[in-house]
Amino acid sequence: MPKKHDEGAHHAKGVTRQWLEQRAKEDRLFWTDGERSLWALLKGLPAPAHFVRKHIVGCYIADFASPAQRLIVELTGKYHFRGEQPVSNAERTADLNAMGYTVVTLTPEEVASEQWKVARQIQDIIKRMEISYPKAAVKSPSVASAPSAPAPTPTKDATLQLPPEVTRNAWAVDAACSGNPGPMEYQGIDLATGQQVFHYGPVHGTNNIGEFLAIVHALALWDKQGVTDKTLYSDSYNAILWVKKKQCRTKLERNTNTEQLYQVIARAEQWLRTHTIRVPILQWDTRRWGDIPADFGRK
């Protein structure tokens, strides 16, 4: 059985649940203009979004949270505490990530002047969180979007021409990146039908990160569906190795432009640590078989 995140284990020394509940209750009595505007926006989002105010997560009190989606939305310009102790934004976010939450941080100015953009991006985050591992994220609205690459056209339902050594009861995954780093996206293709079964991006990243996340994305979907009889193909030796080691060993700089992607990576690594891989992951032999069917065709 997969391990569950123990949010109670993250309580600060001497801080009780009762104390946190009383503090959260008091906090709900006081609004800033930014909080009031953001709450109105979040309440207006369609299902499956459902947010609550001042939600307790471990020893923290989140401004707004969707517990079912494990998503936290907060405003900048505030001091954060672990219980009664001040804590940095980076440390707080790392703790919340370790408990399985994705954290999106917004400025009051964004909420006031770009509500349509904020609402759209939060909806996009939730949409991508339907799979098991990433609770996935596009970049924070605080960061300008990477140049968009054209979305791939799903393959029509048709029989793929496959080498005899390749099983059709399988998916193939691949990533594409314009530059390294640059706008990155990945996809999965069902070899039995030729259909695209998932797609993510573009976000600012690297090809190796995309290959790694694509594998975990497929594994998480199969685990959620109870699939154990398929095979997964990737043409990336590094990505397969990273998955086996349960760690994305990227050298991509972690900064404001890549923070949200790093949160996705952390969720993927956490998924690997808490789940058993029950399907074979095979390297696609490009030299013998040609490009993998999930290739974006941009070489």
Report the range out of 45-49, 79-83, 120-124, 280-284 with the highest average pLDDT: 280-284
> Does one domain contain both 16 and 111?
yes
Phi, psi at 158, each rounded to 5°: -155, 155
Q: In this structure, is residue 157 part of a structural domain? A: no
* Residue finishing a domain among 95, 128, 161: 128
Beta bridge partners of 220: none
> Does one domain contain both 209 and 273?
yes
The mean pLDDT value of the chain amounts to 80
Q: In this structure, is residue 295 part of a structural domain? A: no
The CATH number given to whatever domain includes residue 38 is 3.40.960.10
> Does one domain contain both 40 and 104?
yes
More confident residue, 139 or 37: 37
User: What was the pLDDT predicted at 82?
Assistant: 63
Collapsed DSSP state (helix, strand, coil) of residue 176: strand
Q: How many structural domains are present in the chain?
A: 2
Collapsed DSSP state (helix, strand, coil) of residue 139: coil
Q: In angstroms, rounded to a whole number, what is the distance separating the alpha carbons of residues 101 and 93? A: 9
User: What was the pLDDT predicted at 96?
Assistant: 83
Res 158 pLDDT > 60:
no
Residue range(s) defining the domain that contains residue 246: 170-289
Q: How confident is the model at residue 168 (pLDDT cuts 50, 70, 90)?
A: very high
Beta bridge partners of 176: 185
Q: In this structure, is residue 164 part of a structural domain? A: no
The CATH number given to whatever domain includes residue 277 is 3.30.420.10
Alpha-helix runs per DSSP H in the chain: 17-27, 33-43, 89-98, 108-113, 115-128, 207-225, 237-245, 259-274, 286-289
pLDDT in tens, 94-148: 888 777 788 888 888 888 888 888 888 888 777 665 544 544 333 333 323 333 3
Q: In this structure, is residue 91 part of a structural domain? A: yes
Any idea which residue has 């609770």 for tokens?
A: 135
Q: How confident is the model at residue 48 (pLDDT cuts 50, 70, 90)?
A: low
> Does one domain contain both 123 and 205?
no
User: What was the pLDDT predicted at 282?
Assistant: 96
Lowest-confidence range among 122-126, 203-207, 234-238? 122-126
User: What was the pLDDT predicted at 78?
Assistant: 64
Tokens found for residue 223: 């685990």
Q: In this structure, is residue 15 part of a structural domain? A: yes
Res 169 pLDDT > 90:
yes
Tokens found for residue 138: 């596009």
pLDDT in tens, 78-93: 656 665 666 677 788 8
* Residue finishing a domain among 128, 154, 183: 128
Share of the chain above pLDDT 90, in %: 33
pLDDT, mean of residues 35-44? 88
Share of the chain above pLDDT 70, in %: 79
Q: In this structure, is residue 153 part of a structural domain? A: no
